Amino acid sequence: MNQSPEFVAFTSVTVGVADMDVAYALWVDAFGMDVVLDRKGADDSIAGLWGISPDNISRQLLLNTNGSRYGMLHLVEFKNPQAPVRLNAEVFDLVPKNLDVYVRDMPERIAELAAAGHTFRNEKYSEATAPDGTKFREMHMPSHDSINVVLLEVMGSEKPLTEKGYGSVGPLIYIVPDAAVEKAFLSTIFEFDKLNDNLLSGPEIEKMVGLPPGAGLDVSIWGRHDQPLGELEIVDYQGVTGRDLFPAAIPPAVGILHVSFRLDNVDSLLLRLREAGIAFGQHFGVTSILGSGRVITFKSPAGLRVEVHEVAELP
């Protein structure tokens, strides 16, 4: 284990939205997340980084829970949004798939949300035990811009939650074509710890996930043992082949677009990227909702876009 890691967890996940009021109603009003920054109007700097018109950005929100600097949510409203990244996606398509939100007392949370008019993909939450003995409950919840929010209660664990019983983004789940290659990337480039690694299969998993008979999942979670927010979870579906939707996950599409990290210095990262032969871009003098400085951009082997912001401090 790296004793003084540069990368602890992702700072924020960027989500494109067509209507900020709808997103606000879920993340702030229903879940109780805190507004760190609310920026209205065009954004020349971040638009240049993303290669879009500044006027196409109409509003940005940065949200967190209990002051956490990891697992934050960066919502970006586009004036002329493109189609949702996950529009008509199959469960096993290659794409940034789920935002997992930790909750307390799953039955109570579901009752509250249902009373407020929210809907769910299943009639009842699922309960399962992973091969390592971890017991959890989860409920899939369709959300704005074709995003799938997963309410996740890990039994017997303590997570940083809002007064309403919700956390910031725990794991971001994305689907990969080759788990071994993606695991090597997460270990080498981010020097992440492998927190959980399981092969899941059988009728219970097929029913819970919505897979054909005989299919399974290679699932692993990456981050740090002492930081439950801002983790990356990769899933490689066994026995099925999905479409590659990662090329659609670029602004001004709506849905999950990329993850961002914040570092004091990116020189060691650049060395690792060069040694691994991973193409990257360097962007100087970028002012974003995370601060001002140099930004390094690259993609994981599966296609997940990553931004690393070299900024002195977060807002």
Q: Does the pLDDT value for residue 2 go beyond 50?
A: no
Mean pLDDT of 41-69: 96
Mean pLDDT of 162-175: 94
Above pLDDT 90, what percent of the chain? 77
Read off the pLDDT band of 208 (50, 70, 90): low
Q: To the nearest whole number, what is the mean pLDDT of the chain?
A: 92
* H helix runs in 104-194, sequence order: 106-115, 179-188
Q: Does the pLDDT value for residue 285 go beyond 70?
A: yes
Read off the pLDDT band of 20 (50, 70, 90): very high
Mean pLDDT of 245-253: 97
Hey, what domains does the chain have and what are their CATH numbers? 12-84+248-310 (3.10.180.10), 96-238 (3.10.180.10)
The helix-helix angle for 179-188 and 267-276 (nearest 10°) equals 150
Q: Does the pLDDT value for residue 209 go beyond 60?
A: yes
Read off the pLDDT band of 191 (50, 70, 90): very high
Give pLDDT, residue 1. Answer: 39
| 25, burial (CB in 10 Å: exposed 0-12, middle 13-18, buried 19+) | middle
What separation in angstroms does the CA of 265 have from each of 30, 262, 271, 272?
A: 37, 9, 12, 13
Least-confidence region, from 75-89, 146-160, 274-288, 292-306: 146-160
What separation in angstroms does the CA of 86 have from each of 10, 90, 121, 154, 307?
A: 21, 8, 15, 26, 21
Least-confidence region, from 139-143, 147-151, 164-168, 238-242: 238-242
Regarding predicted confidence, which is higher, 206 or 65? Answer: 65
Give pLDDT, residue 173. Answer: 97
**Token reading at 191:** 């020097």
Q: Does the pLDDT value for residue 198 go beyond 90?
A: no
Q: Does the pLDDT value for residue 174 go beyond 80?
A: yes
At 83-126, the pLDDT tens digits run: 999 999 988 999 999 999 999 999 999 999 999 999 998 888 98
d(CA 99, CA 115): 22
